[in-house]
């Protein structure tokens, strides 16, 4: 029998893939706890323990809101994708998909849908806990717009980097063992867990190469009063630079993805 009927459209297969990716994520208890709840636990734990005043009436939970959302975005995109795609490559899932008539674009659309859903869920839960438990002030007016584009650009850069990094690991366990400490270190030196001006100068310079610092800084512009911009390295939020650096990392990430992505395990070629 010949296939006289048309193959399903990219849009239709992409919808199927998005459904598959959402089920794969939300049904796996480890990934939900690790990715979705870890930032919440951080917020509850550090928010309850650390109780100092940063000036201008800003307490630690208000400051930490920006950092923990940055950590949540990195977890939902970079860490999540690097670990799970490495797993799908080592257990043959990717190879099976590559041998099917699924348009390859649909696979990546599915992953993006997963990142969007997990990112929105993480941010939603963090904001809810922040308001209900710590009484943090939500952004107002134009800050929401900044919130939206910083999140979008940061998540896009980290999604592309996550897909690229997955190719370096042998399997999901080695991906986790590599990516998790790197993400934590970047978060530490990027002012996620403590005020950025308390990070030593040379570490600030190191952090400034990577996207996490700029993502956190852009989010601080959203959650902190403008009076605190004076404590940033440049004395301002540098939103233009945030956009340029995150945009550059998107381009770098895309290039790395195209150059490194493999549908089969190493050694099987």
Q: Phi/psi at 43 (nearest 5 deg)?
A: -60, -45
Rounded Cα–Cα distance for residues 17 and 87 (Å)? 17
CA distance to 81, 206, 241, per residue, from 24 (Å): 12, 36, 36
Q: Phi/psi at 138 (nearest 5 deg)?
A: -75, 155
CB of 16 vs other proteins, minimal distance in Å:
4
Site membership for other proteins, residue 23 (CB under 8 A): yes
Which of the ranges 10-18, 67-75, 174-182, 244-252 carries the binding residues for other proteins, by CB under 8 A? Answer: 10-18
Q: Which helix (H) or strand (E) holds 175?
A: helix 172-189
Question: The tokens of 67 are what?
Answer: 């950092």
Binding positions for other proteins, 95-154, rule CB under 8 A: 95-96, 98-103
Rounded Cα–Cα distance for residues 5 and 262 (Å)? 31
Count how many Cα atoms sit within 13 Å of the Cα of residue 205 in the half-sphere of its side chain. Answer: 2
CB of 85 vs other proteins, minimal distance in Å:
12
Question: The tokens of 171 are what?
Answer: 């399997």
Closest to other proteins by CB, 149 vs 261, is 261
CB of 18 vs other proteins, minimal distance in Å:
11
**Cβ within 8 Å of residue 107, ≥6 positions away:** 17, 97
Which of the ranges 24-32, 194-202, 224-232, 238-246 carries the binding residues for other proteins, by CB under 8 A? Answer: 24-32
From the list 59, 93, 203, 252, which residue makes contact with other proteins (rule: CB under 8 A)?
Answer: 93
β-bridge mates for residue 53, sequence order? 59
At CA 155, angle to CA 169 and CA 62, rounded to 5? Answer: 115
Site membership for other proteins, residue 88 (CB under 8 A): yes
- Mask 206-245, x = binds other proteins (CB under 8 A)? ----------------------------------------
Which of the ranges 93-101, 138-146, 163-171, 254-262 carries the binding residues for other proteins, by CB under 8 A? Answer: 93-101
Closest to other proteins by CB, 22 vs 54, is 22
Q: Phi/psi at 54 (nearest 5 deg)?
A: -95, 5
Q: Phi/psi at 171 (nearest 5 deg)?
A: -155, -175
Which of the ranges 18-26, 127-135, 188-196, 204-212 carries the binding residues for other proteins, by CB under 8 A? Answer: 18-26
- Mask 46-85, x = binds other proteins (CB under 8 A)? ----------------------------------------
Site membership for other proteins, residue 30 (CB under 8 A): no
User: Which parts of this chain interact with other proteins (CB under 8 A)?
Assistant: 1-8, 12-13, 16-17, 19-20, 23-24, 27-28, 87-88, 91-93, 95-96, 98-103, 264, 268-269
């Amino acid at each position: 029998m010949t296939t006289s009927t048309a193959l399903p459209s990219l849009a239709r297969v992409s919808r199927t893939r998005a459904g598959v990716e959402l089920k794969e994520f939300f049904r796996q208890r480890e990934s939900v706890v690790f990715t979705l709840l870890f930032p919440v636990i951080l917020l509850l734990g550090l928010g309850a323990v650390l109780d100092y005043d940063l000036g201008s009436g800003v307490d630690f939970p208000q400051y930490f809101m920006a950092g923990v959302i940055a950590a949540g975005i990195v977890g939902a995109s970079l860490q999540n994708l690097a670990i799970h795609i490495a797993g799908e490559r080592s257990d043959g899932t990717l190879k099976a998909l590559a041998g099917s008539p699924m348009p390859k674009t649909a696979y990546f659309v599915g992953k993006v849908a997963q990142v969007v859903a997990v990112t929105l869920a993480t941010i939603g839960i963090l904001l809810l806990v922040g308001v209900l438990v710590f009484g943090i002030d939500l952004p107002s007016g134009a800050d929401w717009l900044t919130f939206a584009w910083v999140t979008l650009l940061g998540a896009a850069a980290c999604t592309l980097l996550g897909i690229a990094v997955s190719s370096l690991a042998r399997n999901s366990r080695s991906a986790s063992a590599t990516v998790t400490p790197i993400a934590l270190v970047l978060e530490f030196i990027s002012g996620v867990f403590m005020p950025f001006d308390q990070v030593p100068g040379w570490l600030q310079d190191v952090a400034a190469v990577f996207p996490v610092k700029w993502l956190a800084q852009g989010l601080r512009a959203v959650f902190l009063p403008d009076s605190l911009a004076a404590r940033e390295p440049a004395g301002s939020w540098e939103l233009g630079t945030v956009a340029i650096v995150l945009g550059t990392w998107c381009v770098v990430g895309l290039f790395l993805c195209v150059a490194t992505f493999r549908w089969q395990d190493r050694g099987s070629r």
